[in-house]
Structure 1
Amino acid sequence: MRPLLLIVEGHGDEKAAPILVRKILEQHGHYDVILRPTQRRGEYPAVAKSFDNFFLAAIKERAPILWIMDFDAKGHDCPSLEAASLAGRAARLYPAWPIAFAFLVKEFETLFLHDEAATRSVFTDIPKQVVFPEQPERIRGAKEWLSEKRPKGMAYKESVHQQKIAAHLDIDLLRQKSGDFAHLERALLKLIDAEIPA
Structure 2
Amino acid sequence: MNSPYPVIASVVEGHGEERALLGLLQRLIPYLREGAYAHIPPPYRLPRDRMLKPDPLAQALSIVAARQPRPTGVLLLLDADDDCAVELATQIRRLAQNTHAHVPLTAVVAVREFEAWFLAGAAGLAGHMGLPHDLTPPPHPESIRGAKEWLSQRMPSGITYRPPAHQPSFAQHFDLDAARSAAPSFDKLCRDVLRFLG
| Pairwise TM-score range, normalised by the shorter structure | 0.7 to 0.9
Q: 1:38 aligns with which of 33, 43, 46?
A: 43
Q: Is the 8 A contact 1:127 1:149 kept in 2?
A: no
Matched residues, number? 188
Aligned ranges 1:95-134 → 2 under 5 Å:
95-126=101-132, 128=134, 132-134=137-139
In the alignment, the residues of structure 2 paired with residue 12 and residue 140 of structure 1 have an alpha-carbon distance, to the nearest angstrom, of 18
Q: 2:175 is matched with which residue?
A: 170
Residue 96 and residue 174 in structure 1: after superposition, are their counterparts in 2 closer, same or farther (change >3 A)? same
Shift, 1:22, TM fit? 1.6
Q: For residues 117 and 137 of structure 2, what CA distance do their matches in structure 1 show?
A: 12
SS of the aligned residue for 1:65 comes to strand
TM-score normalized with structure 1 length: 0.85
Does 2:192 match 1:183? Answer: no
Percent of aligned positions with the same letter in both sequences? 28
SS of the equivalent of 2:39 reads strand
User: After the TM superposition, which parts of structure 1 deviate over 3 Å for at least 4 consecutive aligned residues?
Assistant: 123-128
Tell me what 1:196 maps to.
none
What's 2:61 paired with?
A: 55
The match for 2:18 among 14, 17, 40 is 14
For residues 82 and 119 of structure 1, do their structure 2 counterparts lie closer, same or farther at Cα, with a shift above 3 Å needed? same
**Aligned match of 1:2 in 2, 6, 13?**
6
Q: Is there any run of 5+ residues in structure 1 with no aligned partner, and where?
A: 194-198
How much is the aligned-residue C-alpha RMSD, in angstroms?
2.0
Encode CA deviations 1:107-151: one digit per residue, 9 max, x unaligned. 1111111122222231444375x7642012121121112112223
Contact 2:124 2:174 in 1 (8 A): yes
Tell me, which stretches of 5 or more residues in structure 2 are unaligned? none
Letter aligned with residue 12 of structure 2:
V
Q: Does the 8 Å CA contact 1:127/1:150 hold for their aligned counterparts?
A: no
Q: TM-score, normalised by structure 2?
A: 0.85
CA distance in 1, matches of 2:121, 2:47: 25
Q: Distance in 2 between matches of 1:157 and 1:81?
A: 28
